[in-house]
Amino acid sequence: METPKSQTPGLLDRARSHRLTSTFVLLGTLSAGILAGSVLTHGVSGKETQQADTSDARPIVIPSPNALSNGFSQIVKQVGPAVVNINTESLPKQSTPRAGRRTPRNPHGNGNGGGGGDDQQDNMQDFFNRFFGGQGGPGGQGGDGEDDGQGGERRALGSGFIVDAKGYIITNNHVVDKADKIFVKLSTDAENPSDPGRPAKVIGVDKDTDIAVIKIDAPQGLPTVKIGNSDGAQVGDWVLAIGSPFSLSKTVTAGIISAKNRTIDEPPGPGNVAANQFQRFIQTDAAINPGNSGGPLVDMAGQVVGMNTAIYTSGGGSSGVGFAMPANTIGSVYNMLIGPEHKVTRGSIGITFQAAQSSAVSRMYGGGNGGVIVGSVSPKGGAAKAGLEPSDVIVSIDGRTIKDGDDLVQDISSRKVGSSVKIGYLRAGKQSSTSVIVGDRAKTYADLGNAPEDENDSAQAESDAGQTKLGITVSAVPPQLAQKLGQKGGVIVTNVVPGSFGEEAGLGKGSIIVEINKKPVTDEASYRAIVSALRSKDDVVFVVRDPQGRDTSNRYLGGTLP
């Protein structure tokens, strides 16, 4: 019974012994292999590799610089020297609510098909923030503005292009709008952050098309761009955008023309008059970002076919949808702005109309094949004098059929004030015609009780001239203080903006201004009238009294307006 017990351990011992033996044999074999490999490779060296035959290898040849050039680079060399950086500085101004100001919207609603809240509106508002944001808010709405954080000067950046060797530059109106100082840097100027550039002055602006002309002194002829014919530009054509996005000067991006004649769906302004009647954009997918505003959009012939003006974005940066004002519009506006009056005059016959209408309305009033239904008639306008009435349907101009309101506006606005035009119209289904004298659009809409924004701006400029030019605000001298000082007339300074002309001249809060440039300041109206007449480079001398000091004699403070 004990025999099996004695045999079992023996078998286990032999099995264990066999496995150990196999393990040692395997280890020995691997060691021998490693040793053999080392011996075999011991004699191999880099020298033998270098001695290999390479007579069949072809050396790399670096081509000449000219061989690397392409169409894009040649265009940039041609146009780039005429593209400039535009820096502006604006003194902080007290915000004053203004009636009739438009709230920009994106061209296709809120972008997501939803109800759309304030956040969505803010995100899409950059479509007509146009990179600058119209000088609104800290740092600007469009990302190009910069505040010093202490209520000082606000700085902003844009682009432009030289069209006349004598220093005339085209840019966007929103780039220079309400700027107290404008500086231009040429492509050849040194990259010096402490140097703002060459001072520039505004020659004229047109808010309807967001175009401005500025000028710098040019002792020598400056490089210029060539203006092309934007009507010849086709969807799918290659274009280059040149400018200073995010302060990165001399930046070039490429794309194609994505669409033409783009408009912005915005509600009409006062009197049902569209505020964007003259804005018909070229759309491009060339990358355009804050700072590109005012820069040229160039075709493959090296000619400017548009000026980069707006972007469609949900995040403040490029989304591949940019908009440029066509060159043909730019040329027409420029020629008027450099004229003796430095302003754009557009024709009008003195009517308003509904921009969009259903086909049912057109059929009912007889304009099913096109035409414009008259909404109202200015009593002093040419249409009223010629006998046109509300509900008439204008169907032709000088025998040419009118398609819609845009067609009518483009035709009439381009005509010379005082010229005559033959208007064909339908009344109660019967066709008639009459001759209408073209009037000044600005005056016509003023007669309709819908003064253009320019006129509102003039009134506003008069009321805050002290803020924009001097950097101060004033009010009437309190009666008790006037009686205490024996002071008749004058205005008291209520606020002085840091870094402004008023502060540099020595004006302080509480100072009483009794005279400016030898003209007595009797009240706020006389103060505004005097200040509104001041111009850049004028010497300005204030006669002031300090109600807090012991010395009540007149003090004379002054300086030269920048």
Q: What is the pLDDT of residues 372-405, one digit of tens each?
A: 888 888 888 899 999 999 889 999 999 999 888 8
Q: Which of 26-40, 60-74, 179-193, 389-403 has the lowest mean pLDDT?
A: 26-40
- Structural tokens at position 391: 């509900």
- Is 108 domain-assigned? no
Q: How many of the other CB atoms lie within 10 Å of CB of 255?
A: 19
Q: Which of 337, 360, 381 is the last residue of a domain?
A: 337
Is the pLDDT at 117 greater than 50, yes or no? Answer: no
Do both 84 and 146 map to the same domain?
Answer: yes
CB 183 within 8 A of CB 196: yes
Do both 270 and 372 map to the same domain?
Answer: no
Is the pLDDT at 128 greater than 70, yes or no? Answer: no
Is the pLDDT at 222 greater than 70, yes or no? Answer: yes
The C-alpha atoms of residue 349 and residue 128 are separated, in whole angstroms, by: 29
Count of domains for the chain: 3
Do both 266 and 405 map to the same domain?
Answer: no
DSSP 231: G
Is the pLDDT at 140 greater than 50, yes or no? Answer: no
The rounded mean pLDDT for the chain is: 76
pTM for the complete prediction? 0.62
pLDDT of residue 441: 87
CB 296 within 8 A of CB 304: yes
pLDDT of residue 30: 54
Nearest of 380, 83, 383, 394 to residue 249 by alpha carbon:
83
> Cα torsion at 448, 453, 454, 459 (round to 10°)?
90
Is the pLDDT at 339 greater than 50, yes or no? Answer: yes
The C-alpha atoms of residue 197 and residue 401 are separated, in whole angstroms, by: 51
Block residue for tokens 């003195």: 350
Is the pLDDT at 103 greater than 50, yes or no? Answer: no
Beta pairing class for 238-243 and 400-401: unpaired
Q: Which of 457, 485, 501 is the last residue of a domain?
A: 457
Block residue for tokens 């007595």: 520
CB 561 within 8 A of CB 501: yes
235 CB burial (10 A radius; 0-12, 13-18, 19+): exposed
Domain extent for 426: 347-457
Q: What is the pLDDT of residues 289-325, one digit of tens each?
A: 888 889 999 999 999 999 998 877 666 556 678 899 9
Do both 329 and 383 map to the same domain?
Answer: no
- Structural tokens at position 16: 């264990």
Active site members: 174, 210, 293
CATH number where 521 lies: 2.30.42.10
Do both 424 and 492 map to the same domain?
Answer: no
Do both 278 and 381 map to the same domain?
Answer: no
Q: What is the pLDDT of residues 515-531, one digit of tens each?
A: 998 899 988 888 988 99
Nearest of 334, 350, 337 to residue 441 by alpha carbon:
350
pLDDT of residue 343: 87
Q: Which of 337, 367, 397 is the last residue of a domain?
A: 337
Is the pLDDT at 141 greater than 50, yes or no? Answer: no
- Is 12 domain-assigned? no
CB 175 within 8 A of CB 184: no
